[in-house]
Amino acid sequence: MKVLIVHAHPEPKSFTAALRDQAVQTLQAQGHEVQVSDLYAMNWNPIASADDFSTRENPDYLVYALEQRLGVKSQSLAADIQQELDKLLWADLLILNFPIYWFSAPAMLKGWIDRVLVSGICYGGKRFYDQGGLAGKKALVTVTLGGREHMFGEGAIHGPLEDMLRPILRGTLAYVGLDVLPPFVAWHVPYISAEAREEFLEQYRERLENLEQDRPIDFPRLSQFDEKLYPLATNG
């Protein structure tokens, strides 16, 4: 299996970085090929702009997704985007590795998503969900956060973590066709002991060694909808 890990944390000694290193070690030990995009170390540019295209279909008005499609056809995407897109298309499994910031992903990672999940390849028209451009590949979200586990869930102070991750799990990864595996979560990380951190690393190792047993999260399939994307009637 070919694995791309997209890592987004500004501190090289962070526990999020330790999870990245655990993933590299575990997956390579299983014989998998691994590439890592360390966005902060790369000084990744997270800002989607007109500078992402060497030529433009409409130089007077920027419609970013339309220019992406042209950029794919004319090979005029910015070099940093093309390099990351090549890695993404190479991979069988995408791992997004990041801390939760304000109920969301760091801006650095959001910028990678904005610029690299290119219209015309990853999605476009009715190429989404199970018909998305990355269908047949898998994705795993690995997150760290400061909250305790009991703070998340139905009736909990912050609500379900799945709601917090919905824009990434459903609106991004599932949307482009990836089979999205249940996320791996390390809770309360800034405040726990070294022994507790080691326990999370061991749990992550075991999870990665048994990914083939994971069942992807259920998301809509286009066959459940008509041509105008209204839900089809179901029996009963």
The 10s digit of each residue's pLDDT in 42-67 is: 999 999 999 999 999 999 999 999 99
Please name each of the domains of the chain with its CATH number.
2-224 (3.40.50.360)
Q: For strands 33-38 and 93-99, give the pairing.
A: unpaired
The Cα 121–Cα 177 span in angstroms is 11
Q: What is the pTM of this model?
A: 0.95
pLDDT of res. 235: 47
| Burial grade of 53 (CB within 10 A; 0-12, 13-18, 19 or more) | buried
Query: Can you tell me the mean pLDDT for 74-95?
Result: 97
Supply the mean pLDDT for the chain: 95
Query: Can you tell me the mean pLDDT for 173-179?
Result: 98
